[in-house]
Structure formats: C-alpha cells, structure tokens
Amino acid sequence: MANVPLGLTIAGSETTGGAGLQADLKTFEEFGVHGMVVITCIVTMNTQTWEHEVSMVAMDAINKQFDTVFSGEKISAVKTGMIPSVDLIQLSRDRIIDSGIENIVIDPVMVCKGDISEINIESSSALRDILVPIATVATPNLLEAGVLSGLGVLESIDDIKKAAKIIYESGAKNVVVKGGGSLAGDEAIDIVYDGKDYEVLSSPKVSTQYNSGAGCSFSAAIASCLAKGMPVRTAVAKAKLYVRDAIEHGFSFNEHAGSVLHSASRVIEGNSLA
C-alpha cells in the first residue's frame, strides 16, 4: 500500500480554477500529496468587469467539513487561504490546533487580487493575531506583509526584511515574503527569515499577465514539501522553482485574466517534484 501524505487546504473556491483551493489541490497532486479541503467561501466574478464577489459558506457546513477531514488518518500539512471573517479565523485556528497537525502554512490572503482599498482591517488584524502565530511558515505577499507588519508599502529588500522580522516576532516560526514580480528590477525576489538569518531567493522575472494562482500555488507547494518531510528552506526553494515554471507556461482564460499552468514543471520542464 502506498504511503501517501495527506494535505488540507482551508480556503475559498475560485470558480475559474486558477487560484484558491483549486490551485492548492492541483499543486498537492503535482507533489504526490492527497489533497482535502474545507471550503470557506465561493469567489465569483462579474463577467463584464471581472470584479470579485465573495459568498461565505455557512459556519455549520464549515464545521462539518472539519469533522469530515479530521475523521481519518493524521494530516501531514495544512495550508490556509482566504478565510474572510474573524469568527472563521478563530474556528480555523482552534480546529488546526486540536487536530495536532505539525506543518502549518498560513497564507494570509486579504483580498482577491491586490486592491488595498478592499482590505477588511478587522479580518487582517485577526490573521495577524490569531493565525500567523501558529504558523510553521507564514507566506504573505508584499501587500499582506506591509499590512501585517504595519509598515505599509514595501519598496525594497530592506523594507521586506524589516517586515519579515516583525511578522516573525508575532509568533511564526518562519516567514517567507513573496515579493515575486512586484519589486522594481529584473529579478523576482522572495525573502525567507527564520529568526536568525535572511535568505534572498532570486530568479529572472517572467513577462506575463497570466499569473492567477501564483501565490496560492507557491504556499501550497511549500505545504506539500513539508508534508513529505522536507526542511523549510528546501521546501521554499522547490516551491519557487515550481511556481516559476507554472508562471512561465501560463495561459489566457479570457480577456480579463489568465492562469498559471500547474502541471508545467513536471510535464513541460521535466522537473522532479519528489
């Protein structure tokens, strides 16, 4: 019988399949991890303007999902995504702790696609105070790291390092700030901090608009590697390579958006994800 690690994502359903729990499950599969899900909300889009609309799942249904996924073998890693209310953030923390899961990746998703005007301050504070402190790895993007740290807009590597240190001091064991293609320059920069050392991970930027799901997939790839027993630094490095391939081979969904290709690293580039 195969020894397949179990991964759980607590996240929103993104209807086009590019991001959210769909991206997480596709990533788990690529790494040989059996993916399970607690659906927190359903994200749909206005087909004319591509504005996002978030519909919450009832708390009773969410609790029943937790009961179901925790009724079997022990889960090797959990990854969170969009958790759009304070009550649900607290519930997720309680259920994760009660489950005894050791590998916890907190992706503090605050908005669907980076519009700071849409950030719910109460929920972002709850992410900082309730979920981030239990993280094995916290994986904010630049916008989220600026909010969690209280530093606002992050424009340089020094800014990111300061934010990572503040977030680490809130309780996370490791912090990975996903700079990606948002910083100026030709390199996609991510910074890892473990309370002692900073590691700057750099790779050439990929010029594309088809990058929906890149952040979700990066965090899910880290969770997958942790589920398979890899150390954090190895997990982050593998995740960065995986997502770079996925972005490089991204494709158009419609005139508004395009997705990363989750199978690209394995199928097109021939890279081992084991």
pLDDT digits (tens, 9 = 90+) for 92-151: 999 999 999 999 999 999 876 545 555 677 899 999 999 999 999 999 999 999 999 999
272 or 2, which is more confident: 272
Confidence of residue 181 (pLDDT cuts 50, 70, 90): confident
Q: Taking a C-beta distance cutoff of 8 angstroms, is the pair 55, 84 a contact?
A: no
The whole-chain average pLDDT of the chain stands at 93
pLDDT level of residue 2 (50, 70, 90 thresholds): low
pLDDT at 247 over 90: yes
Q: Provide the 3-class DSSP secondary structure of residue 33.
A: coil
Q: What is the pLDDT of residue 51?
A: 84
- Percent share of the chain, pLDDT over 70: 96
Q: pLDDT at position 255, please?
A: 84
Q: Angle at which helices 20-30 and 214-227 pack, to 10 degrees?
A: 40
Q: How large is the average pLDDT for residues 43-51?
A: 85
Where are the strands (E) in the chain, listed by range? 6-14, 34-45, 52-56, 77-80, 103-106, 137-138, 175-180, 187-193, 198-204, 251-252, 258-259
Task: Give the per-residue pLDDT at 133.
Answer: 98
What's the confidence (pLDDT) of residue 207?
83
Structure tokens at 194: 């473990």
Grouping H, G, I as helix, E, B as strand and the rest as coil, residue 194 is coil
Look at residue 112 in the predicted model and tell me its pLDDT: 65
Q: How confident is the model at residue 49 (pLDDT cuts 50, 70, 90)?
A: confident
Q: Which residues pair with 39 in a beta bridge?
A: 11
Q: Would you state the pLDDT for residue 117?
A: 53
Residue 3's pLDDT is what?
A: 87
User: Is 64:22 a contact under the CB 8 Å cutoff?
Assistant: no
In percent, the amount of the chain with pLDDT more than 90 equals 78
pLDDT at 208: 87
According to the model, what pLDDT value does residue 116 have? Answer: 54
Q: What sign results for the dihedral spanned by CA atoms 220, 12, 123, 76?
A: negative
> What are residue 216's phi and psi, to 5 degrees?
-60, -45
**In this predicted model, which residue has the larger pLDDT, 207 or 17?**
17
- Whether pLDDT at 233 is above 90: yes
